Chains A and B, each alone.
Chain A
C-alpha cells in the first residue's frame, strides 16, 4: 500500500512528533509511506473564513501532490475532513477538477480510521502506564466517523486504560480562526472541556487533532493544571512523549 502522509500545517509547525509517530505507525502496519516535500496546508483556514479562491488554489495543490498515491492519510480529522468532505464541493463548477477531487476524497483517511479499518494494524509499538481520557474532535467525529477506531487502537497499548470523560463529543471551542476572533468565548467553551478532563482524573488527555490539542492544553495550563499530559493519539500509539528531542 503506497500511502501519502499529509502531515498538516500545525503538526509541521508545533508538533513534529505527531508526524513521526504517524510515519512509524503506518510503517508498522506495512505501508510504503511517502511524505511529499512540497506540502503545506489543506486550505481550511481560507475555506472557513469565506475565501473560497484561496481554498481552491490550495486544494488544487494538494490534489496534484497526493493523487498518485493509493491512500492519503492525515493525523487529523479536521484536515482529512476538509479533503474528504469539502474539496469536491469547491469545484462544483469545474467538472474535471471535481472528479479529481472526488477520487482523492475517496482514498483519504484520518490516521486512526486508516490504521484500524484499512491497514488493520495488529500490534502497536507504544506503551503507556496510566489512564487516558479521549476527546472526540468535531471534524473527526462528525465528518470522518472517527469514534471507535482510536479507542480500539488505544486498547492495544500495554499499561493503558481509558477513562471516558463526561462529554467527550462536546466541542472544545477551538474552531480555527474562531479561537482568535472570539478568544474569550472560545476559552470559556474550552473551560467546560477542561472541567471534564480534570474530573476524569486521567493521567493524560488524548486526542486526534493538534488544533484542539493546542486549545485544550493551552487552557489547562493557564488554569494551573501542569500535570495532565496532553498527547496526540499517534504519539501514544507510537510511544512518543511529544517533545521531538
Chain B
C-alpha cells in the first residue's frame, strides 16, 4: 500500500489541468451515478428509502458492536461447510497468505473479480513476481490493469477513462481492429477474458458481505465475472475486511436493497453471488478449495473510537458520486485506494493522521455525501473530528494556527473586532476600485487565483446601523 496522500494538492492541480480527464469527469458528473440513484430513491419511495437507511445503519452498528463474536460464528460456520478461514493483519500478510495458497496448490493463473482489499495489498504485483499471472476480469479493472493504473473509483474503477482511451488500449494489447462503439469494445473484452476464465486455476474475489449464520460470502456484480471467478477455477480465495460481517441472511437482504440503489440506482445488481464452502459432492460446479482471508489492515484502530461509524461503510461509492471535490479532481488525486469522502476519512484513520494531512480538509463540508450515505455515516462530522485531532496533535501549519487564534481572540472582544472590521472594510473598498472587485486579496492568494472578491461598500453594517439609529 503505497501512501501518496501527502500530495493531494499537487495531484489535484495536475488533474485540473488534464483536459481529457476533466472532460471524462464532467461526463461522469452530469450524467452519472448520482442521477441514477436519485431516480431509484423516487421509485422506491423517499420515506421508505429513509427507513431503509435507518435499518441498514442499525444492522451495521449491531454487527460492529458484536464483531468478535460474529467473526467467530462466521469462522465456525464457514469451516463447518469446508472453507478455510484465515486472518491477515496487514497488506503484507494478505500477500503472504495468497502466495502460500498458490504455492500449496501449484496455481499459475489468477482470475480476479473486483477487490479493493487486493488493492490495499498491492496483490497483483506480488502475484506476478511469484509467477502467478493476475487477470482482472471486471471490465473497468481490466481496463486499468492494461493501463497500469490504480482504480479511481471504488465501483467504477475506470470512470476516469474515455471510450477513445479504452479503444487505444485495446488496439495496443489485443492487436485487433480499432472499435469505437461501447458494445463492440465490451464484446472484445469478453472474448479475451473468456479464455482466461477457463484457464485460470485460482479465482480471487472480494466479498461485499460475510454472513455469520451460514458462513457465506456474497458479492454483487453486473458483468457476471464474479460468478465465473468464484465457480470456475479450482481454488477460490475471497478477501475482505473483518468489518464486513453481518449476522443473518435477513440482514443481507435488507442491505442489498440499499446497496445497489445507492451505488448505481439498480433495484438489484445483475448478479448476486453467494458462496458457502467449496464444491460439495452433489454440486455440478464450484471450487475444490475455498479460502476466506479476513483483513484488519487498520480497521480495529477505528473500533470503539470516535471514528467507528466509518466502519459501517458498505462501499457503494455514493459519497464520491455526490462529492463536488471528487467530481472535480477525480479519484487518483486522493493518493490511496479509497478516494472521495469515505477515503478522506479512511485513509488518515488507516495510515496515520500525519501521513494524509490534506485529506480531511479537502472537502467543502457540503454534506451531499452524508445525506446519500446508505448507512448514514456522518462523513462531514468525521472529517471535522479528524481536523480537530490534527489541531490537538499540533499537525497544522503554524501560520494557519496563528491566524485562527488571532481571529478567535479578536472575535471575543467586540470593541476591538469593530475597529478591525472597520479598517478591513475600508481597505477592501479601496482595493476594490470602481467595480468593487478585489483582484488580489492580501494573504489569500488561493482565493484570488481563480476569483474576484466583491469588496463591499467600505462601511460595516455595525457602523451604518449605528449611524442610522442616531439620525
Contacts and interface: CB of A to CB of B under 8 A. Distances in A.
A169 B324 CA distance: 11
A222 B412 CA distance: 35
A49 interface: yes
> Interface size for chain A: under 10, 10 to 19, 20 to 34, or 35 or more residues?
35 or more
B81 interface: no
B370 interface: yes
Given A46-B407, A61-B412, A181 B451 contact: no
Given A20-B464, A50-B396, A171-B364, A182 B414 contact: no
Interface residues of B, number: 64
B328 interface: yes
Interface in A202-228: 213-215, 217-219, 221-222, 226
Contacts of A221: 435, 437, 451-452, 454
B390 A50 contact: yes
B289 interface: no
A188 B361 CA distance: 17
B425 interface: yes
Nearest to A61: B412
Contacts of A188: 16, 328-329, 450
Given A14-B456, A183-B446, A174 B364 contact: yes
A226 B425 CA distance: 23
A245 interface: yes
Interface string B379-396: 000001011111110001
Contacts of A213: 454
A218 B366 contact: no
B45 interface: no
24 contacts: A9-B411, A14-B428, A14-B455, A15-B454, A17-B457, A37-B462, A46-B408, A51-B408, A54-B405, A54-B407, A54-B408, A142-B366, A142-B371, A175-B365, A178-B364, A180-B444, A185-B12, A186-B447, A187-B449, A214-B453, A215-B451, A219-B451, A244-B456, A244-B457
**Chain A to chain B: the 9 pairs with minimum beta-carbon distance, closest first:** A187-B450, A183-B446, A175-B364, A50-B387, A14-B456, A218-B451, A54-B408, A171-B366, A16-B461
Interface of B: 9, 12-13, 16, 29, 324-325, 328-329, 361-368, 370-371, 384, 386-392, 396, 400, 404-405, 407-408, 411-412, 414, 417, 421, 424-425, 428, 435, 437, 444-457, 459-462, 464-466
Given A41-B411, A183-B451, 15 more contacts: A7-B462, A12-B421, A13-B421, A49-B396, A50-B390, A139-B367, A142-B366, A142-B367, A171-B368, A175-B366, A183-B445, A183-B449, A188-B16, A214-B454, A244-B464
